[in-house]
Amino acid sequence: MGLLSVVCVSLFFSSTFAVDRGNFKTCDQSAFCKRQRALKPGQSPYRALLETLELSDSRLTLQLINDNNKVHLLLELYRLQGNMTRVKINELKPLRPRFEVPDVLIAEPPTEPLSVLSKDDNGVVLSLGAKNQRLIVSARPFRLDIMQGPEVLLSLNSRGLLAFEHLRLHKDTDKEEDGLWEETFKSHTDTKPNGPTSISLDFSLPGVEHVYGIPEHADDLKLKTTDGGDPYRLYNLDVFQYELYNPMALYGSIPVMLAHNTQRTMGIFWLNAAETWVDISSNTAGKTVFGKMLDFVQGSSEKPQTDVRWISESGIIDVFIMLGPKPSDVFSQYASLTGTQSFPPLASLGYHQCRWNYNDQEDVKSVDQGFDQHDIPYDFIWLDIEHADGKRYFTWDPHKFPQPKEMLQGLMDKRRKMVAIVDPHIRVDSGYKIHNEITSKDFYVKNKDGRNYEGWCWPGNSGYPDFTKPEMRAWWSSMFAYDQYEGSMENLFTWNDMNEPSVFNGPEVTMHKDALHGKWEHRDIHNIYGLYVQMATAEGQTQRSGGVERPFVLTRAFFAGSQRYGAVWTGDNAAEWDHLKISIPMCLSLGLVGVSFCGADVGGFFKNPSTELLVRWYQTGAYQPFFRAHAHLDTTRREPWLFGPENTALIREVIRQRYALLPYWYQLLYQAHKTGMPVMSHKYCFILHECTFSFLSCLRPLWVDYPKDTATFTIDDEFLIGSDLLVHPVTEEGSRGVTAYLPGAGEVWYDVHTFQKHNGAQNLYIPVTLSSIPVFQRGGSIIPRKDRVRRSSACMENDPYTLYVALSPKKFAEGELYIDDGHSLNYDTKKEFIHRSLTFANNALTSSNLCPDCNFLTSSWIEKVLILGASKPSKVLLKMDGKETPVDFEFDTSMSVLTLRKPGMNAGADWTLLLQ
């Protein structure tokens, strides 16, 4: 292929506005999925050999035998701290090692003792500790059941779909059908040198009708049954302008599913990085007789049940069962395994302006000036692939960007920043330093014959660095040093795109599965490639500052654990109303499995949005964690001021709303980093407990703490930000009203724009105009804002706070205030931050220190306090430093809003406002 072919590929990608589903496999076209799915529920061939049982303090091992082929497997069971169980199944004596996923778990999970309660010829009963939880191993056929008292929580292999394709030698007499040793899709042949290696296991969840998670899919929040269609697919792929409401694979894969009912929430984490398919079916539980060790037979009532089957192409079975019982427990359990959301720089929570591509330095300067001229704040401007010299990453086009430091300094002078794309496909060019160093260090992925793997991507013929190698990642990180990445400065950050990896001329637009990463095939590691790219990039940004500054890295491909390294966006969407709508459940699904820092391209990447759609998308994006506008090369320019003064004013207003709320967003990301709780929460019923402020129990209560309201289980067109803001974006064209569900019997919600109070546990119809963004603050909460909005977040660093105190019916409210320098790691390494509890009770608003041994000073002060749902006091006193000082106030009788003006306390001080 020559340059003309590259141009043709580029034109294909830039001019095609619908996914070609023929480029991507269905289950029937994936040989292992088709084979496994052909197995029907029934009697399992696997039997537990109880005489092989060995038990240490925290680990049980037991051999399984397949009575059809006499292959032995090794079962390992672990009881983990935090109410989790780990199940591993591998071949007892594999022909060669099978891949086990590294670098995803933050550490080997700590265990707790296992003990045998009873054992006979039919099985063994193990104690799982608290609350009468037991694990029952049935011998013939093999089956696992986790129980609490008489209740079955979860069963493994109850449908007999455990299937483990053992490694074997290829014999000339072997039949070649079903793609056992070779498989062709379109023009690509997968040689499968190790033969069939797939694995499968089924899970049954009695009493469960609602399951969530396993992103990334452009689908509803509640997962659908897959009977009669394809399973959900987890296989990182470059699917431009993806279709909606189907189980096709997209850019990222997180093999975590949450199961929820009004009594319990549980999670299943399937730790496997190979291509994976997930079948979901609904069933009726309560019809199965257990072994003799159970002294009961479940009733015959029509109890709902969800059955889930996981199928992966290679590797081993390594599954973590997170037993909750509350959703918040599951989040904590998963975070203990894979880590929490990275704590990003404050600026990254501001507004990001991007397109493919800003043409040159003058274009960047002009766009930057446009924001100032139209009084619209922003923090980051982005450069796509055209900024580099011939798409050689870590370089600058010498004609379009001849003086990158001058450009970056101009942004820095305004306290703004830039993101430049650095993709993991490297132009094969003997004059390119990056390519030469990777070649000399032998860091490229190999093809099946041992030569460097090459494929086509944006630069043309490209090599793909082997990010699975720690030494390759270390070298990549070193390339972000200021003396290596010429023209870079401390206000330049990074975007990792195309890291599925995308290979234009590869099977399914990705890498051949028989490519080699050392001794492992690409089929084994495919879904963690993107995680490794972001990991190495984030580490490089930290290293370049001597370990002082926080990184900011956006990634398109991701896996379990990616939350530790930065932000994620939902990929190449389109300027269509349905794509706006789907951005909500897509980000909610990511939040449920640890990735809090998520957003979608505002306006849609492909096509040109109508003015109404663009305004509505800004209004939605401003209330999602990652807030970036982005557009395709072929779209018309759409900077916020190009749609007439009225629409410019609407967009300006919602961006300013985002900036006013930055203190709240920042505190939420800090909480997500410290606790693993999602920032953007689906609005299951949240019921505030009136209680004394407590960091552990009441600091940031979520819907997951009280998920009793079944009416909310399938709603995904509105959401909570933390626990205190409820947002119902307007996502219907021409809408004149929306109906929002306000949860919480006995609670109240305040419209943040009008301060009107509404009762919880009701559907509220809200008339809307193009300027409307229905947002409500929960009664019982305190939200800090900075209402003096400037051109960037850094310019607001020392500006004063306004506290919005929304009282519950019991005249109680709580919140918090978190402040640090906004960019360094000193909050962690030196405890340089302010963390304060804000509590309103007994007609007193109090600020107290949550971290007495922390050390940080701020110039910010409290310039205003609004108390919603208040009664008129006769006077207000500020009690501080042993003195009492009168405070001016106004009271709006019609709305019951008390406004305290310029009380003047430092934001880091202890104080109390007394209402008398």
Strand partners, 210: 260
Is residue 553 scored above 80 in pLDDT? yes
Q: What are phi and psi of 779, to 5 degrees?
A: -60, 130
Catalytic residue chosen out of the listed positions 423, 497, 601, 705 = 497
Question: What pTM does this model have?
Answer: 0.95
Grade residue 147 by pLDDT with cuts at 50, 70 and 90: very high
Which token pair is 137? 């191993």
What pLDDT does 294 receive? 39
Is residue 542 scored above 50 in pLDDT? yes
Grade residue 172 by pLDDT with cuts at 50, 70 and 90: low
What pLDDT does 29 receive? 97
Asked if residue 377 lies in contact with residue 655, where contact means CB atoms within 8 angstroms, the answer is: yes
Same fold, 22-338 and 669-915: yes
Is residue 261 scored above 80 in pLDDT? yes
CATH topology of domain 669-915: Immunoglobulin-like (2.60.40)
Half-sphere exposure (Cβ direction) of 555: Cα atoms closer than 13 Å: 32
Which token pair is 535? 């990991």
Give residue-wise pLDDT tens across range 467-509. Answer: 999 999 999 999 999 999 999 999 999 999 999 999 999 999 9
What lies within 8 Å, CB to CB, of 771 at 6+ separation is: 650, 653
What lies within 8 Å, CB to CB, of 431 at 6+ separation is: none
pLDDT (average), residues 227-232: 96
Is residue 865 scored above 80 in pLDDT? yes
Q: What are phi and psi of 303, to 5 degrees?
A: -80, 130
Q: Could you tell me the CATH superfamily of domain 346-569?
A: Glycosidases (3.20.20.80)
Q: By three-state DSSP, how is residue 844 classified? A: strand
Which token pair is 150? 């008489």
Give residue-wise pLDDT tens across range 564-609. Answer: 999 999 999 999 999 999 999 999 999 999 999 999 999 999 999 9
497 is catalytic: yes
Size of the chain, expressed as the number of residues it contains: 916
Give residue-wise pLDDT tens across range 450-469. Answer: 999 999 999 999 999 999 99
Is residue 371 scored above 70 in pLDDT? yes
* Residue in the block written with tokens 């009416």: 711
Which token pair is 746? 């006995």
For the chain, which residues make up each domain, given as ranges?
Answer: 22-338, 346-569, 669-915
Q: What is the dotted CATH code of the domain comprising 22-338?
A: 2.60.40.1760
Print burial letters for 496-521: b (CB count within 10 Å at least 16), e (below 16): bbbbbbbbbebbbbbbbbbbbbeebb
CB atoms within 10 A of CB 85: 22
pLDDT (average), residues 307-333: 96
Catalytic residue chosen out of the listed positions 145, 397, 423, 572 = 572
Q: Enter the DSSP assignment of 852.
A: T
Task: Please give the Cα distance from 182 to 188 (Å, whole number).
Answer: 11
Is residue 393 scored above 60 in pLDDT? yes
Q: What is the largest CA-CA distance in the chain?
A: 95
Which residue, 809, 687, 812, 806, is CA-closest to 744?
Answer: 687
Is residue 13 scored above 80 in pLDDT? no
Grade residue 707 by pLDDT with cuts at 50, 70 and 90: confident
Summary mean pLDDT of the chain: 92
Give residue-wise pLDDT tens across range 774-828. Answer: 999 999 999 999 999 999 999 999 999 999 999 999 999 999 999 999 999 999 9
What pLDDT does 290 receive? 39
Which token pair is 330? 């599951």
Grade residue 682 by pLDDT with cuts at 50, 70 and 90: very low
What lies within 8 Å, CB to CB, of 767 at 6+ separation is: 736, 737
What pLDDT does 299 receive? 42
Q: What percent of the chain has pLDDT over 90?
A: 88
